[in-house]
Amino acid sequence: MTEPNFATRVTRWYEQNARDLPWRVPGVGAWPILVSEVMLQQTPVVRVLPAWHAWLTRWPDPAALAADTPAEAIRMWGRLGYPRRAVRLRDCAVAIVERHGGEVPDQLDRLLALPGIGTYTARAVAAFAYGQRHPVVDTNVRRVVSRAIAGEPDAGPATKPSDLVACEELLPIEPAAAALASAAFMELGAVVCTARSPRCTDCPVATVCAWRASGQEPPTGPTRRPQRYAGTDRQVRGLLLGVLRETTGPVPHQRLDQVWHDDVQRARALAGLVKDGLVEPVGAASFRLAGDAPATQPLPG
């Protein structure tokens, strides 16, 4: 099978089976697509959907977010996870306003130059918002290409330059068709060619899949070791941020002390939040979300 035929099969399947997601609606715009791509990093679609709607209702364009504080971005992010993404997204909005007049740029190099926008996100925006021909390679796409083309059961934990080359070789020449194929590859990996329970009987390229032809079984263990959460600094950081999100302005140190019993771990987690630009000290004994407004009334001690 030639590469264009591979893309054609997957694209036809996608056109009939793609999930109905709001950032896929034609004409939705580059900013909503960029927001969705940042939110979807390491976060399931079901959790992103309500957060995406709320975010775009409050900040429908980069200028609206850039005019607000980092603290409000962190608050709005809620418990979506990895809250540094909220700060990076606001930094990105500020750069879009300052460098590009409030419009998300359509050139790949300019997208890559934005704060917090990496190889995957820049190519995803260029392809899905502007219909350009770029290999958009995430974990799902790497798995599809690894299995169907290379005959390997798994692509490994990290994207390599060779993954971009392998994916680009599968794309149609015409830009709009290539952008659609990129979305189709991603969807196939997300819902059919999954890591542990692939639904090969539903796959549009099962008859030409090199991995299926080899008879190999899916990997039995996780590609990456699952990260423990309970009792970790991540949990403590989340508890501290939860208190700070619920309060406008400074929070006394004594109040933060109540969220976790281990003084050393709590101090380490708080120092990490400050280092990451999510929290800032106020005086000698209080903290607040980065860039937060002063309290409108005295806080209880």
Amino acid (one-letter) located at 22 = P
Q: Is 39 exposed, middle or buried (0-12, 13-18, 19+ CB in 10 A)?
A: buried
What residues are annotated to the active site?
37
Residues 9 and 205 sit within 8 Å (Cβ to Cβ): yes
DSSP E strands, the chain: 251-252, 279-282, 286-289
Q: Cα(212)–Cα(209) distance, rounded to whole angstroms?
A: 5
φ, ψ at 233 (rounded to 5°)? -60, -30
Q: Cα(78)–Cα(213) distance, rounded to whole angstroms?
A: 45
Instruction: List the beta bridge partners of residue 252.
Output: 286
Task: Give CA separation, 207 vs 147, 171, 175, 202, 203, in Å.
Answer: 12, 19, 27, 11, 9
Total residue count of the chain as it appears in this document:
301
Q: Which of 94, 91, 106, 101 is nearest to 30 (CA)?
A: 106
The secondary element (H helix, E strand) that includes residue 250 is none
φ, ψ at 38 (rounded to 5°)? -70, -45
Assign residue 249 a region (left: φ > 0; alpha: ψ between -120 and 50; beta: otherwise): left
Sign of CA dihedral 43, 44, 45, 46: negative
